[in-house]
Structure 1
């Protein structure tokens, strides 16, 4: 699980790099069963589906293989992330349950997988508990330490997350641990270390999905500081490795929007929501359309948000963070506040503090909002959007000098942080007397 300052805070971004996906089984796919072009397509385009297929075939031959059941469950979790299809969550749950039925004691792989699934469903307290149960069985499980790192990060236990991450790095330095190390550094404002960790992660890959994953976050890191050229270069390189990758296309869409290329930005955002209609993607595309005065088209995207959100909830996944920010931005403070409070009850991290602050501001309760906005920006790596929210709240409270400083910091951090809110930040700052 990870959120990135590179990404609009409307998004509760997720890192679910499930290291237990059955790579060994992927390699065992019978190459004679398909034409060479088909084998190449599986290897380059859909390795997770290949892992699922190979694991399923293994289980047809050896249905009592509890390890493969756990690996199949982990592959289903990753497939849910990639495809934005929440029906894979129930499939994952069933696979983990089967693994535990076959091996109820000492099955740390299944418990770690259940923890990753709980993280995906935003049940972070359960994820932390499951990871700790797995570690009680096997303290040397890098996978379990990774699940615990993600859960603690989302719960706002940043010191505990760093501690778990250090254990993971010691046990298995590689793609999964280096990318988490990058996010940990970014959260604390150390962008040099964050980039270095991503470059180390990139060095462990041999192209394909691993490279695309690293370049997604290298591009996002560049975008978070307003470096559009570097961001574009990273996203383009990633798309060379995996053409059509949704996360990379989303990054490209943001760069195109920031550069004012409306036609290409709309086309690219549309490709993203077509491939991955997550609520946060629909909201972001709608917000961009709204910023361009295309309100009818924006409403078409927004109309889908609740439908998709309900589908995810039916499969055990909650995302009140997206709804809180969306409702606060669109004149529904009651819904925003209810959603933000629900999210805050689940986790008290910087994202939930920011969402609650913004919802309280929308409800006209700025004195209550300010402490949460301060908490959201206190860790060291405050995003431009979080700073904009805080500056707006400070301005509403008449704290003019502080608001000017905070809004200036937001725009200095990334002048392209939001097609809707960056211009509003500029206008508000000007109305307060400009930069200090």
Structure 2
């Protein structure tokens, strides 16, 4: 099957640059007791805000979207746009943009500062820290995630229904490459709630990390059964690729890219198409797909690193160096640094 890029390729330009002005991860997590209280709301407003906080937790880790009726003028205002977008993305199992993810973290930090007994909000915050740390390749976020998730379980144990925090711990363990622990938490959730779809991506990663392909395939099949959509298509495409079913992998990955609706989701899908093109030995097609991903999300570091790899194969070494440096500025992953070092060595540079 011939692959047609989602967008026509073009030469990289200044718009492919990035803004690395991210909040510093090494800043200490806010002390809930130190956060200033907002102006005193009415009792009804307080109850509604608490209800909304619980809804937010369910959205991030279970995908349940619930609306709180708005029948009085004294109700709390809706969540800010970036936070709402992050909730919507994660409700479907899709990635949120970095800007929206950062806004979600700030929102939940503020909320738990005044509502320290909100277990779902702590679980949301912990899971958001995991994702932020994964994107930035910064383990400082993982310590903060662990603290938030444990706080959530202190408020409401997993045995009493707080499986969201257990899923968060599985995600944290996968991010740390502790696949044995990730498997333990994932299977704990599955044993109690086998229809909880959010746990299956964590089980897939854990099984793959442990080399248990059979269990990973079973988890993918269960995930796609419980949750149709772009994330499930992406997981299925990766499973087909791992099994050597390249045509099925390409068709499924293309379907996911066609259905993707948000910039972060679209960029991830187009990057997957770039990876498949690279694995087929088609660097020009890979550059086209990675470029399409970067036109959707200019800071998508997997696409930057992937395009750098393909550009180097095409002999466009200056462009490759530029993309590797941009990827490292976004996420200082050892793999990117190693590939850039190998490129420098091949060019006779230090």
TM-score calculated relative to the size of structure 1 = 0.58
Cα 1:120–1:183, aligned 2, differ >3 Å: closer, same or farther?
A: same
Q: Which residue number corresponds to residue 20 of structure 1?
A: 61
Q: Does 1:282 align with 2:323?
A: no
**Shift in Å, 1:44:** 6.0
Go from structure 1 to structure 2 and tell me whether the alpha carbon gap of 1:192 and 1:21 turns closer, same or farther (over 3 Å shift): same
Report whether the alignment pairs 1:91 with 2:144.
yes
Aligned pair 1:239/2:294, yes or no? yes
1:67 correspondence with 2:120: yes
| RMSD (Å), alpha carbons | 2.5
Cα distance in 2, alignment partners of residues 198 and 23 from structure 1: 26
Change (3 A) 1:82 1:193: same
Structure 2 residue matching 1:46: 3-state secondary structure: helix
**Residue 135 of structure 2 aligns with which residue?**
82
CA 1:135/1:23 → structure 2, altered by over 3 Å: closer, same or farther?
A: closer
Q: How do 1:151-230 and structure 2 match up within 5 A?
A: 151-230=206-285
Q: CA deviation at 1:205?
A: 2.2
| Higher RCO, 1 vs 2 (CA within 8 Å, ≥6 residues apart) | 2
Report the CA distance shift for 1:227/1:19 in structure 2 as closer, same or farther (over 3 A). Answer: farther
Q: What whole-Å deviation, never above 9, does each CA across 1:188-226 have from its counterpart, x for those lacking one?
A: 101111122222322442131111111111101111111
Distance 1:29 1:219, change over 3 A: same
Distance 1:60 1:52 in 2: 12
- Alignment coverage as a number of residue pairs: 267
Cα deviation per residue 1:374-416 (whole Å; 9 max; x = unaligned)? xxxxxxxxxxxxxxxxxxxxxxxxxxxxxxxxxxxxxxxxxxx
Unaligned runs of 5+ in 1: 1-17, 33-42, 297-436
Q: Structure 2 vs 1, CA of residues 250 and 23 (structure 1 numbering), >3 Å: closer, same or farther?
A: farther
2:189 alignment counterpart: 134
Q: Does 1:30 align with 2:80?
A: yes
Over 4 Å off, 4+ runs = 21-25
Give a deviation string over 1:119-142, Cα, whole Å, max 9, x none: 111111111110011112211111
What's the CA shift string for 1:215-240, capped at 9, x where partnerless? 11110111111112321221111111
Determine the structure 2 residue equivalent to 1:46: 99
Change beyond 3 A, Cα 1:28–1:210 = farther
TM-score (ref. length: structure 2):
0.71
Determine if contact 1:216/1:248 at 8 Å carries over to the other structure: yes
| Conserved 8 A contact 1:23-1:51 | no
1:277-329 deviation digits (Å, cap 9, x = unpaired): 111111111011112222x2xxxxxxxxxxxxxxxxxxxxxxxxxxxxxxxxx
Greater per-residue helix proportion: 1
Q: Is the 8 A contact 1:152 1:161 kept in 2?
A: yes
- Aligned residue for 1:388? none
Q: Residue 132 and residue 183 in structure 1: after superposition, are their counterparts in 2 closer, same or farther (change >3 A)? A: same
1:87-136 CA-partner distances (Å, limit 9, x unpaired): 00011111110111111123211111101111111111111110011112
